[in-house]
């Protein structure tokens, strides 16, 4: 019996990847280490992100019906495979808690100042639990709706912001050292584009497996362009002071004031950002629960969603002691910390799979899981 019966089409996957990649990156924009050249760093980051995505997509193409947990079992054997799977799931789990932390910090420092963080984290987690329990098909359908609504408001915000935009803030272009630019670009690649490696837990449920590559690439490029425009707007509106803000996109939007009637648009923008964050956390929660269920050979991943969410929420409260640590971790540490999970594990698995050539019957079989008692009796 398959642990997941839902199927998603390529459009849903593109939207899901778009929402996932934009997710928390719109509140903490990538490539900021490059200063006014952040937009260029993001463009280079998209290229690196696509290369990393190509690796996990090749792996997925080789094992079209398998998640990374099942692939590891086939490629490395039952023991080493389980260790690799646990490492990967720990990364997804930690990533989920980091995204939750981002949103809790964002909400509690700008809007809900007197609300205890534990209440915010519980509210956000419960919505994600509800979506993750319904399965990948429901998350993907949510993505389609939320991305279209989000894009409409995003375009509206751009139009409203153009009045405050100053091209001179973007000049001179490319003045920072190449090393600094490339480091910022690498940072942009690892957060958020290469984080789409989490979709190794989702790609087996794509209706038409041939669409995986174009749908993933489209999602990453689309998200990259939105983040690039966001970076250009932030710098063009806030100028050099952009780098002192923890949430530059938020402060850029606060400048919108049309005849003092249309103001406080940042609330609407933040709600949409929150919606994208929901998509990202839901996908990660789903991935961790499904992976853990496959690891323990369970019949269903659903009983694990709530306990995993509880643990993720607790970790979210214990990620960063202060904003300085948050900036240090995001700018300096995360690009190194994430690379083994985003690139090394998929690349190593792909190389070993090419050399080892596992049995084709195992490769093409449907995802494993214990049979339910009723199904066993029927057989």
Partner 1 sequence: MVLLLIALFIMIILLEIVPLAKEQQWKELIVASVLLIAGFILSMLIMFDIDFPYLAPVISDFVEKWLALPGS
Give whichever of 3 and 143 is closer to partner 1, judged by the CB atom.
3
Give whichever of 331 and 365 is closer to partner 1, judged by the CB atom.
331
Q: How many CB atoms lie within 10 A of CB 248?
A: 24
The distance of closest approach from Cβ of residue 295 to partner 1 in the complex, given in angstroms and rounded to an integer, is 9
Residues within the interface to partner 1 (CB under 8 A): 94, 97, 116, 118, 122, 292-293, 296-300, 303-304, 306-308, 310-311, 314-315, 317-321, 325-326, 328-329, 332-333, 336-337, 370, 373
Task: Mention every residue, 6+ apart, whose C-beta is less than 8 A from residue 364.
Answer: 64, 65
173-181, long-range: CB < 8 A, 24+ apart: 173/36, 173/37, 173/40, 174/37, 174/40, 175/36, 175/37, 176/34, 176/35, 176/37, 180/33, 180/34, 181/34, 181/37, 181/40, 181/41, 181/44
SS3 assignment, position 213: helix
The distance of closest approach from Cβ of residue 225 to partner 1 in the complex, given in angstroms and rounded to an integer, is 30
Q: Are 3 and 370 in contact (CB under 8 A)?
A: no
The distance of closest approach from Cβ of residue 306 to partner 1 in the complex, given in angstroms and rounded to an integer, is 5
The distance of closest approach from Cβ of residue 112 to partner 1 in the complex, given in angstroms and rounded to an integer, is 17
The distance of closest approach from Cβ of residue 199 to partner 1 in the complex, given in angstroms and rounded to an integer, is 24
Give whichever of 77 and 303 is closer to partner 1, judged by the CB atom.
303
Alpha carbons 98 and 25: distance in angstroms, whole number: 12
Task: Mention every residue, 6+ apart, whose C-beta is less than 8 A from residue 68.
Answer: 59, 85, 88, 200, 201, 291, 345, 346, 349
SS3 assignment, position 258: strand
Give whichever of 79 and 318 is closer to partner 1, judged by the CB atom.
318
Give whichever of 54 and 315 is closer to partner 1, judged by the CB atom.
315
SS3 assignment, position 206: strand
The distance of closest approach from Cβ of residue 362 to partner 1 in the complex, given in angstroms and rounded to an integer, is 23
Give whichever of 25 and 330 is closer to partner 1, judged by the CB atom.
330
């Amino acid at each position: 019996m398959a642990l997941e019966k839902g199927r998603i089409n390529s459009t849903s996957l593109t939207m899901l990847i778009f929402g996932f990649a934009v997710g928390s990156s719109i509140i903490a924009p990538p490539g900021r280490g490059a200063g006014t050249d952040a937009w260029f760093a993001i463009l280079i980051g998209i290229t690196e992100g696509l290369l990393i995505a190509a690796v996990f997509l090749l792996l997925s193409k080789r094992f079209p019906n398998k998640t990374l947990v099942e692939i590891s079992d086939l490629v490395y054997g039952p023991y080493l495979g389980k260790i690799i799977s646990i490492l990967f799931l720990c990364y997804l789990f930690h990533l989920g808690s980091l995204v939750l932390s981002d949103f809790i910090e964002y909400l509690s420092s700008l809007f809900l100042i007197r609300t205890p963080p534990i209440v915010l984290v519980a509210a956000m987690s419960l919505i994600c639990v509800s979506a993750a329990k319904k399965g990948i098909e429901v998350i993907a359908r949510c993505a389609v709706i939320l991305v279209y609504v989000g894009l409409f408001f995003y375009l509206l915000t751009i139009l409203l912001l153009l009045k405050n935009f100053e091209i001179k803030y973007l000049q001179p272009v490319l003045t920072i050292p190449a090393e600094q630019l490339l480091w910022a670009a690498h940072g942009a690649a690892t957060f958020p584009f290469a984080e789409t490696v989490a979709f190794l837990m989702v790609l087996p449920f794509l209706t038409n497996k041939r669409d995986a590559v174009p749908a993933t690439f489209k999602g990453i490029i689309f998200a990259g362009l939105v983040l690039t425009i966001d970076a250009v707007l932030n710098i063009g509106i806030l100028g050099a002071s952009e780098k002192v803000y923890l949430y530059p996109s938020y402060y850029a939007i606060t400048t919108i004031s049309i005849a003092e009637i249309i103001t406080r648009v940042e609330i609407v923008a933040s709600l949409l950002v929150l919606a994208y964050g929901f998509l990202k956390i839901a996908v990660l929660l789903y991935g961790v629960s499904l992976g853990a269920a496959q690891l323990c050979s369970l019949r269903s991943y659903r009983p694990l969603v709530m306990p995993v969410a509880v643990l993720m929420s607790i970790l979210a409260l214990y990620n960063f002691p202060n904003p300085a640590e948050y900036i240090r971790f995001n700018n300096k540490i995360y690009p190194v910390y994430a690379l083994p999970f985003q690139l090394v594990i998929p690349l190593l698995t792909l190389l070993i799979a090419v050399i080892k050539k596992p049995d084709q019957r195992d490769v093409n079989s449907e995802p494993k899981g214990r049979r339910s008692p009723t199904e066993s009796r029927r057989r």
